[in-house]
Amino acid sequence: MRAACRLGSLLVVMLVLALVAGCAPPAATPAAQPPAAPAAPAASSPAAAQPLSPPVQLRVGVIGLVGEVGMFVAQERGYFQDEGLEVELVPFRGVAEALPALASGQIALSGGAPDPSVFNAARRDIGVKMISSLSIVVPGDWGGALVIRQDHLDSGRYRELSDVKGMNIAIPNLRTTPQLYMERVLARGGLTLDDVQLAIVPIPDHVGAMSNKAVDAAWAIDPFVTLIEGQGLGKKVVTTGDVFPGAVSMIILLSPGFERQNPEAARRFAVAYLRGARDYIQAAKSEAGRAEIVPILTKHTGLKDPALYARLSWPNLDPNGYLDPQVLDVMQDYFLKAGSQQEKQDINRVIDPSYMNYAVERLGRVSP
């Protein structure tokens, strides 16, 4: 009797387990899994994000300086097209000229220097933002330099920095980054701005001004430093790397109108630019790699003679597009002192790192 009871109880338990199993969903089948969340727009690699369709057309301002090499490489190697962008490079003579075009939406982005006009635009709530560095000054860098006319060197008029006293020096604009560098240069010779005459000469015209002896010296920027030396017109004596290592010499600016209308295209631009910058960084490590970059620079800058690239100061780029806010604050302090900036701005109103953050998420972070 007890055995029969035990058997009956066992049968009941087995029956209950079978019923439970029958009610439960099949184990570990795909249909039983919860729906997957939608994929995030950011992807882990360039190939993981489809190009924008239809392609987005955008105009990008450039000055034609070697510091813009990352954008030039991206253009020539089709990285913008990979992201669904049709980019037209539009020449400007400087950031002050490009800024109204950015503010009005005539161009979507632009290279340029972190000049006071950018901070003053933030004060007026125009909304132009710095989204990436283009080039950064390192020790030994002569991407910008004080160049003395060759006949002054030959005659002995110039032997040391204090001999700059009384000279007429070409500078692209007053009370901006070139003047910041010049003041630091003069201080090394025990001089101030009162000891020289500054002549406003656009960057591309420095070669001609030295050639026709309209100025005694120039604060020149590459490729024009290399052109002046390559043509035997002058020689650099003090450089940006001597007086301000760590300075952010060039940046990428974003139009507020384009940002509102097509933020995804702006993010895609950041990815393409960063690919170009990283290609350049890798190439610049060897002579063979630099030889691959020379045709790109001869196409997009004023340095057309490939032989002169042996003299070039190859710019330093950050592989993640990083903008150092502390350095930019040092620059702001100078502009305030010089009277070209009205009020110091919260750097967060001027810098927007989100675009380069997106690019780094797509491409991965690289140690500088």
For 217-255, write each residue's pLDDT tens digit.
Answer: 999 999 999 999 999 999 999 999 999 999 999 999 999
Mean pLDDT of 253-274: 97
Q: Rounded to whole angstroms, how far apart are CA atoms 264 and 349? A: 20
Compute, in degrees rounded to 10, the torsion defined by CA atoms 20, 22, 24, 25: 170
pLDDT category at 47 given cuts 50, 70, 90 is very low
* Residue 299 CA neighbour count, 13 Å, CB half: 12
Q: What's the confidence (pLDDT) of residue 368?
A: 80
Beta bridge partners of 251: 112, 133
Rounded to the nearest integer, the mean pLDDT of the chain is: 88
For residue 295, the tally of other CB atoms under 10 A from its CB is 11
pLDDT at residue 282 is higher than 80 = yes
Would you state the structure tokens that stand for residue 12, as one six-digit string?
């009941």
Is 285 exposed, middle or buried (CB count within 10 Å of its CB: 0-12, 13-18, 19+)? exposed
Q: What's the confidence (pLDDT) of residue 327?
A: 96
Mean pLDDT of 274-280: 98
For the chain, which residues make up each domain, given as ranges? 46-137+247-363, 144-243
Which one is predicted more confidently, 2 or 280? 280
Q: Rounded to whole angstroms, how far apart are CA atoms 144 and 141? A: 8
Domain 46-137+247-363, second-level architecture: 3-Layer(aba) Sandwich (3.40)
pLDDT at residue 173 is higher than 70 = yes
* Residue 150 CA neighbour count, 13 Å, CB half: 13
Mean pLDDT of 314-326: 97
Mean pLDDT of 336-348: 95
Alpha-carbon distances of 342 from 95, 112, 124, 294, rounded to whole Å: 18, 20, 10, 41
Q: Rounded to whole angstroms, how far apart are CA atoms 8 and 15? A: 11
Q: What's the confidence (pLDDT) of residue 23?
A: 34
pLDDT at residue 347 is higher than 70 = yes
pTM (2 d.p.): 0.85
Per the CB < 8 A criterion, the answer to whether 269 and 83 are in contact is yes
pLDDT at residue 175 is higher than 50 = yes
pLDDT category at 46 given cuts 50, 70, 90 is low
For residue 364, the tally of other CB atoms under 10 A from its CB is 12
Q: What's the confidence (pLDDT) of residue 162?
A: 98
The reply to whether domains 46-137+247-363 and 144-243 share a CATH topology is yes
Beta bridge partners of 199: 170
Mean pLDDT of 12-37: 32
CATH class of the domain defined by 144-243: alpha beta
Percent of the chain with pLDDT over 90: 84
Mean pLDDT of 188-202: 97
Mean pLDDT of 76-101: 96
pLDDT at residue 41 is higher than 50 = no
Which one is predicted more confidently, 268 or 94? 268
- Which residue in this structure is represented by tokens 């384009």? 258
Q: What's the confidence (pLDDT) of residue 49?
A: 87
pLDDT at residue 29 is higher than 50 = no
Q: Rounded to whole angstroms, how far apart are CA atoms 320 and 356? A: 7
Percent of the chain with pLDDT over 70: 87
pLDDT category at 335 given cuts 50, 70, 90 is very high
Mean pLDDT of 313-325: 97
Contacts of 96 (CB under 8 A, 6+ apart): 115, 117, 173, 176
Q: What's the confidence (pLDDT) of residue 19?
A: 32
pLDDT at residue 361 is higher than 70 = yes
Is 245 exposed, middle or buried (CB count within 10 Å of its CB: 0-12, 13-18, 19+)? middle
Mean pLDDT of 106-121: 95
pLDDT at residue 31 is higher than 60 = no
